[in-house]
């Protein structure tokens, strides 16, 4: 399986070619328009028959005669076809059928001109018209004409807007994305009322034919990054695409790395904040998560709420997050290494409590730590998968009961339970759910190295981890920016959050050097002044 995945990735890279080289062809200038339609594949030419019976027969053959295909004969020459539950029945009965029944001259051009709806087109390709019907359109065929009129009136069920569940915040917007692409785009346009907001529509998946939109601000986002994202998506040759998380893994720089190179967010305000910072956003129809890229390692630990807090408080919270990362990854391995090889690093007052706590434990520290960490992960997964009320009960009661029983049975020590609980609590401080999963996973190999080689094993793991992070990129941009390569002027919004007058709006991974937008800031008096790059 590993070699198959590797070969598949190599094929993908070969198809995309040089993805980081911006296109200079004037024909690709259409990507900067506010709304452009891009397709990932071309259909073979299949004409539409002017005979109604032949036309209906070909449509049934193409879509294998589904039970929800509705065929209605409006008049002697006009026939409509549509998929049940994919269109708005009230619009069909109130605005389309009355016009078709009272029309004087039944031709595709006259129908197109008399229908009081915005999305009406005349098609001459059978495959293209069927694809449009499957997205929620009514197909109107007139006998004697090799054309068909398509009226797009989609009706897709979607849940109402609600607060984000995985990215909650106290101060700021309390609305999240849902599974409707049109609704999510409207949420973005609610925050960004700019004519420079570009929206490119594509379709991915030979079976699902999933719609997605690439959003960016023209003149702010790097054209090279936009071309890279567009080319990688167009080069995909897959059967299905269900969620945005799948797309992010398919188009990132290194799918074999456990570190995410693109952010998945369900917050429209965080999504729009990234667009305003020069990033590229991707929204997938049917997914409640938006993709932002390029994204650096340090940005995964920044929250949108940091900008809503006063800068000293936001700086303290950010530093607290990085301290929590260190605690979550290294505290349990340090416990294992200290008790296995390095008793001399333990303070004298702690030696007696540690000895008494481990007096009844028959296992070495490495097995004791792995056992407790595994129990903690089982409790976390059980609490996340069960219904809300039951999950909370399992997490609290299960943790208390199992912890107390493990100590009384002599399987583990009290001090290790405190350390493991502190590490688990620290891992939940990360604003990004995907990065939090990475931090929890990193503990296990480091614990094993600490159990075999002590602090030397921890340092080996740290060196390998740093080398891996320094080698990673996101859309070709350094993953460890602004620390590597160092950019001192971009450190003001990394580990700390300086006051707004001292922060340049754009991020280092998506900077447009000649954009005036990236060279302006607001001073304390509200006047605008230019800052040299």
Q: What is the pLDDT of residue 382?
A: 80
Contact 171, 304 (CB under 8 A): no
Residue reference for tokens 């002017």: 50
Q: Which of 152, 181, 206 is the last residue of a domain?
A: 152
Structure tokens at 505: 């709006």
Same domain, 162 and 145: no
Same domain, 423 and 457: yes
Rounded to two decimals, the pTM is: 0.79
Same domain, 22 and 64: no
Residue 142 CB neighbours (<10 A): 24
Domain housing 132: 52-152
Number of domain units in the chain:
3
Q: Is residue 354 part of a domain?
A: yes
Q: Which of 471, 503, 520 is the last residue of a domain?
A: 471
Residue 90 CB neighbours (<10 A): 10
Q: Is residue 479 part of a domain?
A: no
Same domain, 120 and 169: no
The tens place of each residue's pLDDT in the chain, 533 residues long, gives 333 433 433 333 333 333 333 333 433 333 333 333 434 344 457 889 999 999 999 999 999 889 999 999 998 889 999 998 889 888 999 899 998 988 877 788 888 888 888 889 999 899 889 988 988 899 999 999 999 999 999 887 777 788 888 888 888 888 899 988 989 999 999 999 989 999 999 999 888 889 999 999 998 999 999 999 999 999 999 999 999 999 999 999 988 899 999 999 999 999 999 999 899 999 999 899 999 999 999 999 988 888 888 889 999 999 999 999 999 999 999 999 999 998 888 888 888 888 888 888 888 999 999 998 998 888 888 877 777 667 666 767 777 777 778 877 778 888 888 899 899 889 888 888 899 899 999 999 999 999 999 999 999 999 999 999 999 999 989 999 888 888 877 777 788 888 877 765 555 555 554 444 333 334 434 443 433 33
Q: What is the pLDDT of residue 103?
A: 83
Strand partners, 204: 210
* ∠ CA 448-460-373, rounded to 5°: 25
Same domain, 101 and 177: no
Q: What is the pLDDT of residue 42?
A: 42
Same domain, 405 and 331: yes
Contact 240, 208 (CB under 8 A): yes
Same domain, 241 and 367: no
Same domain, 183 and 249: yes
What SS3 state is found at 328?
helix
Q: Is residue 47 part of a domain?
A: no
Contact 385, 395 (CB under 8 A): no
Q: Which of 250, 277, 297 is the last residue of a domain?
A: 297
Same domain, 312 and 400: yes
Q: What is the pLDDT of residue 70?
A: 93
Q: What is the pLDDT of residue 385?
A: 77
Q: Is residue 192 part of a domain?
A: yes
Same domain, 460 and 325: yes
Q: Is residue 43 part of a domain?
A: no
- DSSP-derived letter for residue 92 is I
Q: What is the pLDDT of residue 510?
A: 58
Q: Is residue 521 part of a domain?
A: no
Q: Is residue 488 part of a domain?
A: no
Contact 413, 362 (CB under 8 A): no
Q: Which residues of 26-59 are buried (b: 16+ CB within 10 A; e: fewer)?
A: eeeeebbeeeeeeebeeeeeeebbeebeebbebb
Q: Is residue 507 part of a domain?
A: no
Same domain, 59 and 182: no
At 321, give phi and psi (nearest 5°).
-65, -45
Same domain, 34 and 163: yes
């Amino acid at each position: 399986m590993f070699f198959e995945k590797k070969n598949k990735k190599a094929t993908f890279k070969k198809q995309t070619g040089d993805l980081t080289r911006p296109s200079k062809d004037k024909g690709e200038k259409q990507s900067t328009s506010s709304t452009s339609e891009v397709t990932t594949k071309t259909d073979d030419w299949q004409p539409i028959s002017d005979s109604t019976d032949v036309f209906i027969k070909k449509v049934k053959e193409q879509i294998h005669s589904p039970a929800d295909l509705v065929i209605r004969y409006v008049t002697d020459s006009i026939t409509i076809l549509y998929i049940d539950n994919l269109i708005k029945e009230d619009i069909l009965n109130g605005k389309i059928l009355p016009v078709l029944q009272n029309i004087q001259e039944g031709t595709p051009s006259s129908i197109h001109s008399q229908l009081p709806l915005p999305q009406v087109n005349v098609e001459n390709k059978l495959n293209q018209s069927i694809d449009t019907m499957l997205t929620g359109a009514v197909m109107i065929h007139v006998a004697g004409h090799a054309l068909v009129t398509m009226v797009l009136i989609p009706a897709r069920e979607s849940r109402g807007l609600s607060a984000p569940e995985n990215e909650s915040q106290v101060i700021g917007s309390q609305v999240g994305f849902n599974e409707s692409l049109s609704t999510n785009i409207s949420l973005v346009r609610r925050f960004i009322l700019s004519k420079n907001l570009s929206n490119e529509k594509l379709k991915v998946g030979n079976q699902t034919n999933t719609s997605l939109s690439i959003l960016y601000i023209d003149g702010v986002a790097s054209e090279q990054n936009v071309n890279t994202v567009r080319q990688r998506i167009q080069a995909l040759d897959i059967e299905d695409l269900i969620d945005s998380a799948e797309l992010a893994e398919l188009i990132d720089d290194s799918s074999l790395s456990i570190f995410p190179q693109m952010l998945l967010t369900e917050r429209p305000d965080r999504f729009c904040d990234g667009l305003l910072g020069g990033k590229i956003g991707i929204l997938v129809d049917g997914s409640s998560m938006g993709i932002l890229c390029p994204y650096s390692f340090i940005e995964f630990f920044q929250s949108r709420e940091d900008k809503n807090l006063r800068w000293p408080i936001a700086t303290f919270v950010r530093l607290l997050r990085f301290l929590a990362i260190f605690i979550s990854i290294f505290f349990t391995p340090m416990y294992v290494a200290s008790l296995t090889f390095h008793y001399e690093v333990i303070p004298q007052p702690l030696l007696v409590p540690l000895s008494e706590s481990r007096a009844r434990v028959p296992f070495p520290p490495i097995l004791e730590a792995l056992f407790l960490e595994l129990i903690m992960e089982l409790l976390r997964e059980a609490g996340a998968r069960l219904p809300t009320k039951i999950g909370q009960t399992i997490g609290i009661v299960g943790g208390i009961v199992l912890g107390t029983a493990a100590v009384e049975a002599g399987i583990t020590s009290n001090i290790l339970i405190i350390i493991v609980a502190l590490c688990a609590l620290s891992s939940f401080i990360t604003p990004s759910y995907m990065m939090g999963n990475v931090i929890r996973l990193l503990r296990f190999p480091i614990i094993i190295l600490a159990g075999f080689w002590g602090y030397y094993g921890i340092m080996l793991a740290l060196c390998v981890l740093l080398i891996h992070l320094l080698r990673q990129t996101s859309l070709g941009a350094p993953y460890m920016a602004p620390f590597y390569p160092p950019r001192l002027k971009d450190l003001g919004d990394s580990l700390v959050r300086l006051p707004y007058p001292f922060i340049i709006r754009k991020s280092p991974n998506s900077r447009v050097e000649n954009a005036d937008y990236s060279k302006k800031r607001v001073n304390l008096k509200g006047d605008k002044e230019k800052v040299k790059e």
